[in-house]
Structure 1
Amino acid sequence: MKISDVLRSKGFGVVTITPDETVSGLLALFHENRIGACVVSTDGKSVDGIVSERDVVRSLHTDGTAILLGPVSQIMTSEVTTGTADDEIATLAATMTNERVRHVPIVDESGALTAIVSIGDIVKSRLNELQSERDQLRDYISQ
């Protein structure tokens, strides 16, 4: 299965934030959208970085509450692992595990942002696939 299969059921919506937005604004965005990571983008299509709840927590621990008034660009990850809709789910899952990332922006052939996939999306897809295989085997055996 490919990432495009995950996106067909999940959807292509992506919440982005500009690098100059405050961390406090980021937290509000997380809360409003019930998300744990956000793509940082100057134009809504480029992937300039990614920022997660973990980034906020780590920065709070090391730098204190002053980071809440600072820009997202100070705490974001600039080197972002991306994927494409044509990537195999297993390949992206392995990449996420090896690089210890929980969210991967999905880009098209021009590098433009099209979606985001979380490790939860990958697990849900895999569970659905296993359930379908189980049902098919049970139907085959009972015939």
Structure 2
Amino acid sequence: MTVKAILELKGHDVVTLGPNEKLSEAVRILAEKRIGALVITNGDRKIVGILSERDIVRTLAKDGAAALDHPVREAMTAKVKICNEYHTVNEVMEIMTTGRFRHLPVERGGMLDGIISIGDVVKRRIEDVEREAEEIRAYIATA
């Protein structure tokens, strides 16, 4: 299965925020939407960073509650790992595991096209394993 297939099932919607917004606004959105990361864009769907819960915790530990008034650009991860629609589930799992993160923006033509989470990847991988097991059972039953 590819990233394209995952996005066809889950959609291409991504919650984004500008790099000049306050960190408190990012926290509000994450809590309201019950998500773990925001893709940071300049409004043109060009990815300039990603802000995860982990980024926020590190910033709060360093600067205390005053960090909530800082712009998102000071807390975000600017060197964003991305994937495209042709990456496979196994390739994406490797990228996420190696980088130790749970959200991976999908880029198409240099612009944000979607986002996949470790939950999306695990769900699809489980579906693949269950399908393969069923195919093996069917093969054995007909042999």
1:37 corresponds to which residue?
A: 37
For normalisation by structure 2, the TM-score amounts to 0.94
3-state SS of paired residue (2:81): coil
Instruction: Give the match for residue 91 of structure 1.
Output: 91
The answer for unaligned runs of 5 or more in structure 1 is none
State the distance in 1 between where 2:126 and 2:64 align. 40
Task: Give the distance between the partners of 1:117 and 1:47, measured in 2 at CA.
Answer: 15
| 1:1-143 matched pairs, under 5 angstroms | 1-108=1-108, 110-143=109-142
Partners of 1:75 and 1:51 in 2: how far apart? 7
Alpha-carbon displacement from aligned partner over 1:15-53 (angstroms, at most 9, x marks no partner)? 100011111110111122111000001114110000000
Alpha-carbon separation, structure 2, partners of 1:24 and 1:44: 22
Q: Distance in 2 between matches of 1:124 and 1:44?
A: 31
Q: CA RMSD in A?
A: 1.1
Aligned equivalents of 1:41 and 1:28: distance in 2? 18
Aligned AA (1:36): G
Once the two structures are superposed, what CA deviation does each residue of 1:80-120 show, in whole Å capped at 9, x if it has no partner? 00110011221121111112221111011x21100001111
Shift in Å, 1:62: 1.2
1:13 counterpart SS class: coil
Cα distance in 2 between the residues matched to 1:46 and 1:32: 24
Q: CA deviation at 1:67?
A: 0.6
SS state at 1:43 partner: coil
Q: Secondary structure at the match of 1:142?
A: helix
* 1: CA distance, partners of 2:130 / 2:44: 36
The share of aligned pairs that are identical, in percent, is: 38
Q: Provide the C-alpha distance between the structure 1 equivalents of 2:45 and 2:135, rounded to a whole number of angstroms.
A: 40
Q: One-letter code of the match for 1:112?
A: M
TM-score normalised over the length of structure 1: 0.94
In the alignment, the residues of structure 2 paired with residue 20 and residue 101 of structure 1 have an alpha-carbon distance, to the nearest angstrom, of 23
What secondary structure does 1:28 align onto? helix
Residues 16 and 44 of structure 1 are in contact (CA less than 8 Å); yes or no, is this contact kept in structure 2?
A: no
Matched residues in 2 for 1:43 and 1:22: separation?
16
